[in-house]
Chains A and B, each alone.
Chain A
Amino acid sequence: MPLDIDRFAHVASPLQRWDPRVKLFTLGIFVFSVALIKTLPIALLAFCTAVFILRQSGLPYDFVASSIKWIIFFLLPFFIIMPLSYPGETAFELIGLPFAWEGLQIATLIFIKAVAIILTTFSMFGTARFDVSMIALQHLKCPKILIQMLLFTYRYTFVFIEEMRRMQIAMRARGFVMKSNIKTMHVMGNFVGTLLVRSFERSERVYKAMLSKGYQGELHSMVRFQSERQDYIKSALVLTAAGLILTLDFSGLFLPAKQAWF
C-alpha cells in the first residue's frame, strides 16, 4: 500500500507550479461540488474534468491506478446490494430477488463520483511535498495545532512502520502464524500493547528533545508561498467548471439518478 502520495511531487507540471494555497482551495471546492452531484450525465462530465485536471499533474498513471483498485474493492458491494434492495419498480427478477434499474443507477453514480474525487485528491496532494501542503492548509486557516500534530504524526508513522516490521519478523522467527482464533487475537493485543509502550517512551524522548531545542508550542516553518496571476487564472478556470457542473446539475435538464433524492 503506498503511503507516500507525494512520491512524485518533484515532477514538474502546471499543477506542481500552482501555488499550493490556491491549488488546495480551488480543488477543495471542486471536490465538494462533485460530492453534491445527483445526475449521471453531470457526474460523467465532472469525471472527465477530474481526469483532465489529473493529466495536468504529470503523475504516473499506474501510481494513481493502484488507489482506484482499492475504491473498486470498497464500492463493488454497492453494485450488488443497491439494485437488489432498491424499494422501487422491479425490472426483473435476479436469482429470486427484485432487480431495480434505479438501484444500479445510484451505484454507478456513487462510483463515478468517488473515482472523480480520488483522482482530484491526487491532483491536490500528489503535486506538492506533504509538509508543504500542510503549511499551505495552515495559510488557509486550518488550526495551527492540527497542522503541527499532522506533521508529527506523519513523521513518526514511518518510524513505527519500521518498528512494526522488525517486531513482525521477530514474531515469525519464533514461529508465530496468524490464525482466526483467540490465541492470535491475544498475541495481537500484546503486539499492539508493546508498540504502544514503545511509543509512549519515544514520545517522552521526542518531547524532551524538542524542549531542548527551544520548543514553546509553535512549529515555525521556512516555507514561503507566492502567488502570481497565472495561479489565479488556473483557479478561475477550475472554479468556473465547478460552478457550471453544479448549475447544470440543479437546472433540471437531466433527471437525477433517483427522483426522490432529498
Chain B
Amino acid sequence: MSNKESNKSAIETSQVFFTYPDGHAVLKSVSCNIKHGEKVALIGPNGAGKSTFMSLLNGVSLPTNGQVHINGTRVEKETLVEIRRQIGIVFQDPDDQLFCPTVYDDVAFGPLNLGLPHDEVEKRVKESLALVGLEGFDERSSFHLSFGERKRLALATVLSYRPEILVFDEPSTNMDPLNRRKLINWLKESDKTILLCTHDLDIALEVCDRCILLTDGEIVADDATSKILYDRKLLEANNLELPLALMTHELLNDILKHKDDMNEDHRFIIGNFLHAHRHAHSADGEVHFHVHAHDDHTHTHDHPPHDHDHDHDHDHDHDHDHDHDDKHVAGAHQHLHTKPENR
C-alpha cells in the first residue's frame, strides 16, 4: 500500500517529554524509530506512560517538549488532519469507539470524515467488515453485539480509512481464546506497520519482531523480541513476567532435569501438554517447540532452548545467557523427541 522507501520511518519520536500542568512527568525523553512494515510491541507495567505515548502519535495530546513524526510529517496542530488519516489507533474498550447508531455508521465514520464519495465509503465499509468477519452486520446496533464482535468491529472502524500504521491498545484483553488466536493470525499476516501496546507478552512474543520496554516514562530497553522477552531479570525488574509460553517451557525443563523422579503420570501430563500446545500453534504447519529430550549431555545449544518465536524467517542471535541447565532427559515422552526440522 505504501510506496515509501523502506528506510523512512513510520513513527519517529525524538526526546519527547509529556508533563501535566501539576508537574507530574509522564514521558521523559522518549526517542524511538519504527520503520515501515515493522511490528513492534510497546510493553510496560501499568502507568508506564503507554497510553500517553499513544495519544501523542496522532496528536490527541501534543508533547510538552520534543517532536513526533509520522511518515516524516511532524505532528502539530496544522498537520493533525493529515496525520490522523495515516495512523489508526484501536483502543482497548470497544464501547468507546463505537458511538454510532449502527455497525454500518461506525465503520463509515472515518471514511466520511475524510470526505470520500459515498460509493467509495460503501465499498470500504463492506471491505472492512469482511476483513474482520462481520459481513451482513451493517444494520445491527453495535450495542447488541458480543464483546468479541465489538472488538473486531472496533478494528474495522479503523481499517475502513486505510491507515498505513496501526496502533493497538491492549488488543487481546477480555478476548476468548478463539478470537485471540484469530487476531494474532491477522496481525501476523498484515503488511502494515504495527505497534502493539500491551502487557500481554504472549501476543507480543508471537507477533512482534521488536520490543520496546517503557517504565516510568522512559525507554528501558529497545531490542529484538527474542532478547527482551526471554530476559526474566529485565522483565521482573520492570513489574512484568516472562510470557506464559516461556514460563511453561522453563517449568517443563525444570521437571525434565529430574527425570528419574518422574513417574508415568508426569510424563503423560507433560507429553499431552506439549502435544496440545503443538496443535494449538501448528496452524501454519510448523513445529514450534524445542524441549529437547536426548541423552547427549555434551550437547551445546546453538539456539535458545526456549525459542518460541514463531517467526522463523528471522535469525536471532542466541547469545543471551540462560541459567538453564543443559542436561537433557531421554525418553520422557514420545512427543519430546520431536525436534524442529528447520534448525
Q: Do A and B come from one complex?
A: yes
A residues neighboring B (CB under 8 Å): 129-131, 151-152, 154-156, 158-159, 202, 205-206, 208-216, 218, 220-222
B residues neighboring A (CB under 8 Å): 55, 58, 60, 81, 84-85, 88-89, 91, 93, 95-102, 104-105, 108-110, 112-114, 118, 121-122, 143, 157-158, 161
Given contacts A131-B105, A222-B104, A213 and B143 within 8 Å (CB-CB) = no
B101 in contact with A154 (CB, 8 Å): yes
B99 in contact with A214 (CB, 8 Å): no
A213 in contact with B110 (CB, 8 Å): yes
CA distance A154 to B100 in the complex (A): 9
Residues of A contacting B88 with CB < 8 Å? Answer: 212-213
Chain B's interface: helix, strand, loop or mixed, by majority? helix
Distance of B84 from chain A, by nearest CB (Å)? 5
Distance of B122 from chain A, by nearest CB (Å)? 8
Pick 30 A–B contacts, CB within 8 A, sort by A.
A129-B101, A131-B100, A151-B101, A154-B101, A155-B100, A155-B101, A159-B95, A202-B95, A202-B96, A205-B96, A208-B55, A209-B96, A211-B60, A212-B58, A212-B60, A212-B88, A212-B91, A213-B88, A213-B97, A213-B161, A214-B81, A214-B85, A214-B113, A215-B113, A221-B105, A222-B104, A222-B108, A222-B112, A222-B121, A222-B122
B143 in contact with A214 (CB, 8 Å): no
Closest residue to B158 on the A side, CB-wise?
A213
A213 in contact with B101 (CB, 8 Å): no
Distance of B137 from chain A, by nearest CB (Å)? 15
CA distance A158 to B143 in the complex (A): 7
Closest residue to B88 on the A side, CB-wise?
A212
Residues of A contacting B81 with CB < 8 Å? Answer: 214, 216
Residues of A contacting B91 with CB < 8 Å? Answer: 205, 208-209, 212
B96 in contact with A130 (CB, 8 Å): no
Q: Which of A130, A155, A211, A221 contacts B84 (CB 8 A)?
A: A211
CA distance A220 to B101 in the complex (A): 12
Residues of A contacting B98 with CB < 8 Å? Answer: 155
CA distance A210 to B100 in the complex (A): 10
CA distance A221 to B112 in the complex (A): 8
Distance of B251 from chain A, by nearest CB (Å)? 36
Closest residue to B121 on the A side, CB-wise?
A222
Closest residue to B55 on the A side, CB-wise?
A208
Q: Which 3 A-B pairs have the closest CB atoms?
A: A131-B101, A214-B113, A220-B112
Residues of A contacting B105 with CB < 8 Å? Answer: 131, 221-222
Distance of A196 from chain B, by nearest CB (Å)? 17
Residues of B contacting A215 with CB < 8 Å? Answer: 109, 113
A220 in contact with B113 (CB, 8 Å): yes
CA distance A205 to B118 in the complex (A): 28
Residues of A contacting B114 with CB < 8 Å? Answer: 214
Closest residue to A204 on the B side, CB-wise?
B96
Distance of B172 from chain A, by nearest CB (Å)? 18
Residues of A contacting B95 with CB < 8 Å? Answer: 159, 202
B89 in contact with A212 (CB, 8 Å): yes
Closest residue to A222 on the B side, CB-wise?
B108
Residues of A contacting B118 with CB < 8 Å? Answer: 222
A130 in contact with B101 (CB, 8 Å): yes
A151 in contact with B113 (CB, 8 Å): no
Give the interface centre of B60, B93, B95 by most chain A CB atoms within 10 Å: B95
Residues of A contacting B96 with CB < 8 Å? Answer: 202, 205-206, 208-209
B99 in contact with A210 (CB, 8 Å): yes
Distance of B279 from chain A, by nearest CB (Å)? 37
Residues of A contacting B99 with CB < 8 Å? Answer: 152, 155-156, 206, 209-210
Given contacts A208-B91, A222-B121, A214 and B100 within 8 Å (CB-CB) = no
Residues of B contacting A211 with CB < 8 Å? Answer: 58, 60, 84
Closest residue to A155 on the B side, CB-wise?
B99
Give the interface centre of A202, A205, A209 by most chain B CB atoms within 10 Å: A209
A213 in contact with B60 (CB, 8 Å): no
Closest residue to A224 on the B side, CB-wise?
B118
Residues of B contacting A151 with CB < 8 Å? Answer: 100-101
Residues of A contacting B93 with CB < 8 Å? Answer: 205
Residues of A contacting B55 with CB < 8 Å? Answer: 208
A213 in contact with B113 (CB, 8 Å): yes
B101 in contact with A214 (CB, 8 Å): no
Closest residue to A4 on the B side, CB-wise?
B141
Distance of B323 from chain A, by nearest CB (Å)? 43
CA distance A177 to B302 in the complex (A): 66
B113 in contact with A159 (CB, 8 Å): no
Given contacts A155-B99, A222-B104, A214 and B110 within 8 Å (CB-CB) = yes
Give the interface centre of A151, A155, A158, A205 by most chain B CB atoms within 10 Å: A155
CA distance A213 to B97 in the complex (A): 9
